[in-house]
Amino acid sequence: MKKLTCLLVLMIVAPELKGQEVSGLASQKPFDIRGSLDVRVIGYSAQGMTARRSPFSYVLTGSPTLSIYGIAVPLSFTYSEQQRSFSQPFNQFGMSPTYKWITVHGGYRNVSFSPYTLAGHTLLGAGVELKPGKFRLGFMTGRLNRATTVDTTTGALQPFSFSRHGYAAKIGYGTEGSYIDLSFLSARDSQKGFKGSPDSATIRPAANVVVGTEARYTFAGKLYVFADAGLSIYTRDQNSALSVELDSVNLGLNFLKGLIPINGTTEYYLAYSGGLGYTAKTFGLKAAYKHVDPNFQSMGVYFFQNDLRSISLSPSFNALQGKLRFTGSIGVQEDNRKQQKQATTRRIISMANLSWDIHEKFGLDANYTNFSTNSEPTVTLIQNKYLLTQTNNTVSISPRLVLVSQNYTHMVLVSYNLSSLSDLNEETQSTNNIRSSVALLNYNLGLNALGLSVNTGLNYTDNRLAMGTVSNKGFTLGLTKAFLKNKVMVSNSNSLIISRLTQGSSRILTLGGNATYAPLKGHRVNLRIYSMNHAIEQEAADPLKNSELTAELSYTLSF
């Protein structure tokens, strides 16, 4: 398969590459490098509490991009003292050089071919992406996960996992508005190099093959249809002795026997979605449908929200020459697609966002969301107290005022948010109902001639629960001042939060300072100090006090 893929790629690329290799090279710089390098040293101490990080740590990161006769070679790396621990390595190196429509990947890379095959999963390996004209071709191969076992240095138990390798391919044709793509993923766990005992592990070496497709077509630049689908064949235990007989109905599985072990632990899952939409200058509308089988998973994707069917409608419009803007959606979502659960849960999801620039100095933003959830039993013996019937509403409104003059800048922001969780189940509503309100007032004053900015704010939160009321009152104050023609920037931020709990009170005081010095272009030194003091007063108990202090010194080089 790998040899055949490479041969096809070379056959397609060779005719085009001959003309591209020498075109324009004489006008390109032979060598150029741009990017940034960042070094951070962090100190930490804690009193009256368990430390949440090590007393000393450092991080070195960089993202240089080399250019050799116009061929871009982006590099990235991260190095930290965390590599000394047994856990998965924190240090990662990779590059993706690009020349015109050719991109080559090497090292740790995140590449997406489709939502179902390879989508954002970190892979240590190599690959290539080609985009000659309207064609889109891609191939990646490498390690998806490294093996982990028991940390013998500390005695800590790590989740057992095998080394996982695989490859993915993609072929497509089209433009951004109209295209069709086909993709493929094959991956499996390997017991080679696994230091633990497979008999004691709770997981078994698995294998996975996924086929995915995506398509979109646009009519007259305004009306479009879209669809995607994925078929995942997943074998949970490659070593299982449970055999399965494949008849003529399962010809597809027979064809895949050369790519994945087929036995009694093999299952297949489907996922697909599609819809249509209309986009105009002042109005848009999109309708979508989505289905995902229970337990759908792919080794090339970290997470799937599975076992669902959803239907949604999303309108949008703008008026008053774009000063009034609205986006919204309403949809229905339900699970239990294969009737395997004791109850089916249905959710009605709706939201609306409105933004209105009433005047060049005054505007208003408003948001509304509603989530209604209802469970219906699919078996006869299930008590009402185990059924979920809830409605969650959130309303927020935020007026804003901005006044700008030659010497001063004033900005006032007021925000109010009200949310409620209403339990409609008579047997549980007395303990589950929640009502929360949040009010904020922020003011920022800019003294332009002095390079000074002052910001302050008040906030109030009230949470009403079945066990009682929890409220927070807060105050913030911060200053920012520039010196030496903006080469030095000093800032300070402080906050105080006083909480009234059901059984006592709490106070959190945070003090922070930051100083940045840029002596030369491309060079920046930054010092940050952060302090947190927390005190809790409890009824019939001694007060609890703890504090944390963090200091960070960093140097950034941009070139």
Rounded distance between C-alpha atoms, residue 369 and residue 352, angstroms: 7
Asked whether the beta carbons of 244 and 262 are under 8 A apart, the reply is yes
Is the whole-model pTM more than 0.95? Answer: no
Secondary structure (3-state) at 354: strand
Rounded distance between C-alpha atoms, residue 62 and residue 93, angstroms: 10
CB atoms within 10 A of CB 123: 27
Q: Identify the band that residue 466 occupies on the pLDDT scale cut at 50, 70 and 90.
A: confident
Could you read off the pLDDT of 369-408 as tens digits, one per residue?
987 766 555 544 445 544 445 678 899 999 999 999 988 9
Pairing of strands 362-377, 119-130: unpaired
Q: Identify the band that residue 160 occupies on the pLDDT scale cut at 50, 70 and 90.
A: low
Residue type, position 534, single letter: H
Q: How high is the pLDDT of residue 67?
A: 80
Q: Is the pLDDT assigned to residue 273 strictly greater than 90?
A: yes
Asked whether the beta carbons of 497 and 532 are under 8 A apart, the reply is no
Q: How high is the pLDDT of residue 341?
A: 77
Could you read off the pLDDT of 63-83 as tens digits, one per residue?
888 887 766 777 778 888 764
Q: How high is the pLDDT of residue 4?
A: 37
Could you read off the pLDDT of 72-117 as tens digits, one per residue?
777 778 888 764 333 333 456 777 888 889 999 998 888 999 999 9
The burial class, CB within 10 Å (0-12 / 13-18 / 19+), for 268 is: middle
Rounded distance between C-alpha atoms, residue 486 and residue 343, angstroms: 63
User: Which tops the pLDDT comparison, 239 or 168?
Assistant: 168
Q: Is the pLDDT assigned to residue 145 strictly greater than 90?
A: no
Q: How high is the pLDDT of residue 393?
A: 86
For every residue of 452-465, DSSP letters joined together read EEEEEEEEEEEEEE
Diameter of the chain by CA atoms? 83
Give, in degrees to the nearest 5, the angle at Cα 512 between 507 and 513.
165
Q: Is the pLDDT assigned to residue 417 strictly greater than 80?
A: yes
Rounded distance between C-alpha atoms, residue 5 and residue 169, angstroms: 8
Q: How high is the pLDDT of residue 192?
A: 75
Taking phi first (over 0 means left), then psi (-120 to 50 degrees means alpha), and beta for anything else, what does residue 208 get?
Answer: beta
Q: Identify the band that residue 473 occupies on the pLDDT scale cut at 50, 70 and 90.
A: very high
Q: Identify the band that residue 424 occupies on the pLDDT scale cut at 50, 70 and 90.
A: low
Q: How high is the pLDDT of residue 324?
A: 95
What six digits make up the tokens of 397? 């409104």
Mean pLDDT of 498-524: 92
Rounded distance between C-alpha atoms, residue 533 and residue 461, angstroms: 20
Name the average pLDDT for the chain.
83
Q: What is the DSSP letter of 546?
A: E
Of 146-155, 165-174, 254-263, give the lowest mean pLDDT range.
146-155
Q: How high is the pLDDT of residue 257?
A: 67
| Token pair 């819809």: residue | 275
| Token pair 């989530």: residue | 371
| Element at 8 (helix H, strand E) | helix 2-20
Q: Identify the band that residue 478 occupies on the pLDDT scale cut at 50, 70 and 90.
A: very high
Q: Identify the band that residue 241 occupies on the pLDDT scale cut at 50, 70 and 90.
A: confident
Q: How high is the pLDDT of residue 95?
A: 79
Looking at mean pLDDT, say which of 139-148, 247-256, 379-388, 409-418 comes out highest: 409-418
Nearest to 144 by CA among 170, 157, 162: 162
Give, in degrees to the nearest 5, the angle at Cα 548 between 544 and 552.
175
Residue type, position 48, single letter: G
Asked whether the beta carbons of 474 and 492 are under 8 A apart, the reply is no
Q: Please, which residues have CB within 8 angstroms of residue 228's CB and are 6 or more apart in sequence?
A: 114, 115, 116, 212, 213, 214, 215, 272, 273, 274
User: Which tops the pLDDT comparison, 8 or 408?
Assistant: 408
Beta strands in 175-260 (DSSP E): 179-190, 207-219, 223-235
Q: How high is the pLDDT of residue 27?
A: 62
User: Which tops the pLDDT comparison, 517 or 504?
Assistant: 517
Q: How high is the pLDDT of residue 366?
A: 96
Percent of the chain with pLDDT over 70: 81
Q: Is the pLDDT assigned to residue 514 strictly greater than 90?
A: yes
CB atoms within 10 A of CB 137: 20
Q: How high is the pLDDT of residue 8?
A: 35
